[in-house]
Amino acid sequence: MVVESSGESVDMGGAPSPAASPESLPGPPRRRRWVLASCLTIAVLVVAAIVAFTLVSANRAFDGAAADLSAADESAADADASLRAAADETTDAAERAGQILALATDDLVDAGTRTSFAEATTAALAATAEADALLGEPLETEPLGKQLLPWDLLAEADAMREDASALEERKADADATRRSVAESEQTMTTAAEAMFASAGPAAAALEAMNVSAVSLVVLDFRDASEAVAGQQGLGSGALTAFTAYAAAGGNLKQSQQSELAEKAGPLLTTRLEIEEYARSIAGGVVLDFDWAPLVNGLGGDRGLSGMATWNTARGGFSTITLSDSIAETWPSPDSRAIVTHEVGHSITSKCSALFDSTSGPANEEWATAWAISMGQTAEGNGVQAYGYPSQSMIDAASGCR
């Protein structure tokens, strides 16, 4: 059948239309190919960007962790150095403390302060031992080699962060131990200074037990005890001062024994009583005593005699020589008067400016006047030998005590 329309005819018969050839089919649009290519390119770029970002991030993490580890290592090393210095200083001080304690007998210092000092020294040594133990643990400061792959870099960064954290803990431990060491040293030093201060009263008591020691030994002992009492800290000066003090204490006791041995005999008790009386009125002048059968050719059945020398140095000291007859007649008025006269010579060492102490006659007038000013009226006061002193000399002597 043929249908006509608009001047055209179409054969609608049952005959089939011829098949289209492959060459006649349309191909894929060019735009689709471009989109696919673009997507692939973008995907590649995204992957590359991710890889680059990951690598850069991993490197930055590694570098940051390495920097933190280096800083932590430096801080820990500084803390260790500070601890080492503090421990060494405290150890040195504790060693000197031990040497001082070995010399610090109970007659040189107060026993209670010595015990406190010993305990503080033991505690300081324990603190330094703790410091030595900590410092004996090595610091882990080995840097890691930089790897290529990001996951290796990140693993190394984590490891370095752990090491840095450990170093920070080490620094904290070192700082805490250093504070403990410093506190123990301060406690030890404070205890040492308390013991040093106790040397003053202890020395005075020891001197009182050894009054017969010769004057220069006594003065050396006083100087040594004052040097110790003024010590601050546990430096080498403290050890030097205490060593000298202990030696001076030994010399004091030895001198006492030597003097007592020289004075031994039936008159010993009386001699010591006379010496005690003389010291009690000497105004702090350190006195030495010698005894002899004759003094200036007098003594025994020739009467009583004495003589004295004096020195203004070191606060004043003097040597009095008395005849044995004074001890044999003690405490007669004349024996007491002549001893007082000789102490009048001795005390010149602190009152020499009150008269012409360069004149021999003036010295005898002074000693006689001084004995009179002390209430001694017996002729042994010097009146018999040197005449009666002027009232002005008696008045001057009354001002010297």
Ordered structural domains, the chain, with CATH: 39-197 (1.20.1260), 198-262 (no CATH), 266-401 (no CATH)
pLDDT tier for residue 227 given thresholds of 50, 70 and 90 = very high
Q: CB–CB of 139/170 below 8 Å?
A: yes
User: In sequence order, what DSSP letters do the residues of 335-389 get, joined into one string?
Assistant: HHHHHHHHHHHHTHHHHGGGTTTT-HHHHHHHHHHHHHHTT--SGGGTHHHH-PP
pLDDT at residue 60 is higher than 90: no
When pLDDT is averaged across residues 285-313 and rounded to a whole number, the result is 96
User: In sequence order, what DSSP letters do the residues of 48-100 get, joined into one string?
Assistant: HHHHHHHHHHHHHHHHHHHHHHHHHHHHHHHHHHHHHHHHHHHHHHHHHHHHH
Cα dist from 317 to 30, 34, 189, 259, 297, whole Å = 129, 122, 36, 17, 25
How much is the pLDDT for 286?
98
How much is the pLDDT for 57?
72
pLDDT tens digits along 177-219: 999 999 999 999 999 999 999 999 999 999 999 999 999 999 9
pLDDT at residue 27 is higher than 90: no
How much is the pLDDT for 375?
98
When pLDDT is averaged across residues 360-388 and rounded to a whole number, the result is 97
Cα dist from 50 to 38, 44, 57, 156, 341, whole Å = 18, 10, 10, 20, 114
Q: Which H helix or E strand runs over 309?
A: strand 306-311
Cα dist from 11 to 14, 20, 207, whole Å = 9, 18, 156
Cis amide prior to 331 (ω within 30 degrees)? yes
Single out the residue of 295, 300, 296, 278 nearest to residue 287, CA to CA: 278
When pLDDT is averaged across residues 125-142 and rounded to a whole number, the result is 90
Backbone dihedral angles phi then psi of residue 2, each to the nearest 5 degrees: -120, 130
Cα(84)–Cα(352) distance, rounded to whole angstroms?
Answer: 59
When pLDDT is averaged across residues 228-235 and rounded to a whole number, the result is 96
User: In sequence order, what DSSP letters do the residues of 225-282 get, joined into one string?
Assistant: HHHHHT--SSSHHHHHHHHHHHHHHHHHHHHHHHHHHHT-STTHHHHHHHHHHHHHTS
Q: Which H helix or E strand runs over 120?
A: helix 111-135
pLDDT tier for residue 63 given thresholds of 50, 70 and 90 = confident
Backbone dihedral angles phi then psi of residue 311, each to the nearest 5 degrees: -145, 135
Backbone dihedral angles phi then psi of residue 378, each to the nearest 5 degrees: -65, 155
pLDDT at residue 8 is higher than 50: no
Long-range contacts of 394-397 (CB under 8 A, 24+ apart): 394/369, 396/354, 396/355, 396/366, 396/369, 397/344, 397/354, 397/366, 397/369, 397/370, 397/372, 397/373
Cα(156)–Cα(165) distance, rounded to whole angstroms?
Answer: 14
Cα(122)–Cα(36) distance, rounded to whole angstroms?
Answer: 85
Q: How much is the mean pLDDT over the chain? A: 89
pLDDT tier for residue 176 given thresholds of 50, 70 and 90 = very high
pLDDT tier for residue 3 given thresholds of 50, 70 and 90 = very low
Q: CB–CB of 381/347 below 8 Å?
A: no
